[in-house]
Structure formats: structure tokens, C-alpha cells
Amino acid sequence: MRHAAVICATPVFASAVACRALAAQMFLGFGGLEARGGIADTKTGGSSAAFEVDLGYAFIPELRTTLGIDFFGSSIDREGSGERVGGSLQGAGGIASLRYDAFAQRRFGLHFVAGAAIHSIRANPDDPSAKDSLGGGHGGLQFGAGVSWRIGSGHFWSVTADVRHIAEPDVGRTLVAVGLRYSLRGRRMYDRDDIPAVTPTPSPSAFGR
């Protein structure tokens, strides 16, 4: 009798484990891709490009987690030791963000971004004394906001535009970019009905009583 109860309980336990695994994949899985390009700095110009992966949602489907890489090049126009410093910057690095999608299932939506950034920067200033402070490794916060235009009824593709400020010491900048976002599940990525309900299977012993 004990062996029969164990055998009957095994499928129920397996179903529960499978559902927990599915929930974990939804929290940290592959939700889509986004590519952006634009102006590296609204003050000094230049160009930038970024590529991000959607890693699923945190807490609620509208709060997306993303991880990506970006590249930029711009001019230097800064004050150093009481004198104007010019030259050029080129950088590459990683970005990690939380993005909140407002009006997530409508054709037009808003998004708000906050996260962290780290970059390796090669600086070519016209003042050699500023090279150490501008070049090398830099880390800081990033935050911004933008709009999304979702294409088609399934919302698998979106055109995006946003403004972000990268608050890294000595090399902070505000960038403007437009992009294209692909969502693996389209508008269904914001639904909460993805985790199937677990229906326990009663053991035969229950019917025999």
C-alpha cells in the first residue's frame, strides 16, 4: 500500500517541479532582442549603437530585465583645470537595465529605463594631462525614457525611440537613439496565463475507501 501511494504521488510531484521550472524560465529566459542606433551625446554629437537581450520579467510582466552591449564615438568638449579640452572618445561596454513598459498591450506605449553601465574608453584629448581621467574603465548608472510603436496585431515587432543619460564620472553623456525590438511572444509576453495550473491526480486508494 505504501509503494502504491509513492507511485501515485510521483506524477503529481513531477508536475509541480515542471511548473516551478517553467516559472523560473519566464523570470530569466529569452524574451526578445533590440538593436538601437543614434547620437552618442546631445552636446558633442557622434554616433552610438546598442544591442540588448530581453531576459524576461521581474515581479510583473511589464517590468523587463535586459542585458546588452553598446559602442559609441564622440568628440570631447569639456572643462579641465580651467581650460577647454577637445579631442575624441571611442568606447565599448556592457549595459544592464530594468525597463518598465507602460500601456504594454497598446499600439503606442511608453517605457522607462534604469540600470548600470560599464565601459572601456579610449580617449584622444588635445590636452595630454586629461587622458588618464577620460580614458580607461568607467562605470555608472543609466536612466531614461522613450516611446514604442508596436507593429501588427501580434506586436512581435516594435519601433522604439528613447533618450538615456549615462552617468559615468568624467565621461557622462546623454544619448538619443531609435531602434527595432523583436518580442518572441509578441503581446502575449505581458500575459499572466503562461503557467499551467497543476491538477493533482487522486490516488486509487482514495476511491477504495
Residue spans of the domains in the chain: they are: 1-27, 31-191
Closest to 78 measured CA to CA, from 170, 1, 148, 159: 170
Burial of 104 (0-12, 13-18, 19+ CB in 10 A): buried
- pLDDT at position 78 is 79
Largest pairwise CA distance in the chain = 91
Q: Please give the average per-residue pLDDT across 178-190, as a whole number.
A: 93
Tell me the pLDDT tens digit for each residue of 15-38.
333 333 334 345 578 899 999 999
Average pLDDT for 48-67: 94
Instruction: Tell me the whole-structure pTM to 2 decimals.
Output: 0.77
pLDDT of residue 88: 92
pLDDT of residue 169 exceeding 80: yes
pLDDT(141) > 90 = yes
Read off the pLDDT band of 42 (50, 70, 90).
Answer: very high
Q: What's the pLDDT tens digit per position in 72-92?
A: 999 998 776 667 888 999 999
Query: What's the CATH number for 31-191?
Result: 2.40.160.20
Asked whether the CA dihedral 131, 132, 136, 137 is positive or negative, the reply is: negative
Least confident of 49-53, 139-143, 193-197: 193-197
Query: Is 70 exceeded by the pLDDT of residue 207?
Result: no
Confidence band (pLDDT; 50, 70, 90) for 155?
very high
Most trustworthy range by pLDDT among 24-38, 118-132, 149-163, 191-205: 149-163
Cβ atoms of 136 and 118 within 8 Å: the answer is no
Q: What is the mean pLDDT of residues 164-168?
A: 96
Question: What integer pLDDT is reported at residue 59 of this predicted model?
Answer: 87
Whether the CB-CB separation of 67 and 34 falls below 8 Å is answered with no
Percent of the chain at pLDDT > 90 equals 61
